[in-house]
Amino acid sequence: MGGINSPDVTQGPEEIGHEHNDLSGGWLRPAVFGAMDGLVTNIALVAGVGGGGASVRTIVLTGMAGLVAGAFSMALGEFASVDTQNNAVQAEVAVEREELRRHPDAEKAELISMYQGMGLSEDISRRLAEEVHNNPELAVREHITAELGVNPDDQPSPWTAAISSFFCFAVGALFPLLPYLLGAHSLLLSLAVGGTGLFAAGVLVSRFTARSWWFNGLRQLAFGVIAAGATFIVGSLIGVGGVG
């Protein structure tokens, strides 16, 4: 009979397994980037325009313009970058497929060498490479994964990246405008609400990382403070009537 800490061998794999967050769909990075960028951008805009002595109407107009322009810019940029990356991977797949057709033995030797570099014995590396090369599509995928560090069959969606960055930027950019939209005329309150949004976003992001929630929250808040402080100083120096 096993002791109190002995594993229960009657458990099936589904009972002792664990789950991972889905990080391959292309939504997490653009969502985080969009939310943080929206928050920092509009906090900085509001601080700069407000620091220059602009009216509430001008602050809101500037913030809303920044929200719309930034959301579309983020979405289009994410779509273009992810789509370009995916096409670049597919181009490398075509090159690898041609190399496997023209130089199968050299490619097999390369794969054996890579397996050995991972710490496998020469015998196991050779047997694995032989098995992989019996399936042409598997061979292409294995070479691309080993050489480039990406799985050509599991690429992020440019649409997912674009949509997630658009909405997350818009939501983040809305935070510093909320006090003004609700009737308050306080720059300090606007910046406080924006800072709260930054801290909360950092805490939420910590769910997907190994960092503590307070570190993530304070780090994002610090980024916002630096950006807002810089634009507030610039706005104060120039002022609403300082140029033109």
The one-digit pLDDT tens for each residue of the chain (244 residues) are 444 444 454 555 555 555 555 555 568 889 999 999 999 999 999 999 999 999 999 999 999 999 999 999 999 999 999 999 999 999 999 999 999 999 999 999 999 999 999 999 999 999 999 999 999 999 999 999 988 888 888 899 999 999 999 999 999 999 999 999 999 999 999 999 999 999 999 999 888 888 899 999 999 999 999 999 999 999 999 986 554 4
Q: Judge whether 21 lies within some domain.
A: no
Q: Judge whether 82 lies within some domain.
A: yes
Q: Structural domain tally of the chain?
A: 1
pLDDT for 230 equals: 96
The reported pTM is: 0.81
Q: Judge whether 183 lies within some domain.
A: yes
Q: Judge whether 85 lies within some domain.
A: yes
Closest CA to 232 of 196, 188, 183, 175: 188
Q: Judge whether 241 lies within some domain.
A: no
pLDDT for 21 equals: 53
Closest CA to 146 of 116, 117, 114: 114
pLDDT for 28 equals: 84
Q: Are 176 and 44 in contact (CB under 8 A)?
A: no
Domain that holds residue 89: 27-236
pLDDT for 244 equals: 41
Q: Are 49 and 57 in contact (CB under 8 A)?
A: no
Q: Judge whether 94 lies within some domain.
A: yes
Q: Judge whether 136 lies within some domain.
A: yes
Q: Judge whether 20 lies within some domain.
A: no
**Structure token pair of residue 210:** 């190994």
pLDDT for 25 equals: 52
Closest CA to 180 of 58, 48, 35: 58
DSSP track, 156-206: PPHHHHHHHHHHHHHHHHHGGGHHHHTT---HHHHHHHHHHHHHHHHHHHG
